[in-house]
Structure 1
């Protein structure tokens, strides 16, 4: 019989220990002082499980075309919404500006009146010219 350590034959070892021994890693529960062997084993098992899962995944034949079409529709909608938003903001700004300009008094103001002599105010009396 083949002596595999710890006084057991290969057939007497649990399956996980046999698999680890075949892979060259430590058996379950055995790690070096800082636990890196256990971490490496866990990482290797996780990688193998994910690879097995990935091999079973089949992409739909038209998945790229469908995803690209959805992306283009979202892009067109985003651009349309942005264009409408810019047009609304521009229109509102123009209307507010025209409304403010329309609120000015129709009679000429004191600053821009060119009719009559210039008047200067000095204390309580008004001096012409």
Structure 2
């Protein structure tokens, strides 16, 4: 299926994403913060990036802005997966280039459905 980069400072969240998406046939690569996410995105080819918002080193908004400034990543869908539910933060994420938003905690089947929908668009 698709190659997906998941960026989150929580190993358990990354593992939950990997289990859910791998079971659906996707290849999942993990990064622990935005800086590592940018490095892995630049070193590979991904159909989708899923990122947390609040992370050390580089947060998700900065990571999205960094990736969107690069032509190679301008069209790659990026989903935020975070506990934040504030409308202002959502608007800021959308302005930065986020494709969509998934609130933690998430159900694995819900995540798979959203990923499938985004990849089909």
Task: Tell me the TM-score normalised to structure 2 length.
Answer: 0.20
Which structure has the greater CA radius of gyration?
1
Higher helix share: 1
Q: Bigger relative contact order, structure 1 or 2, given CA contacts below 8 A and separation 6+? A: 2
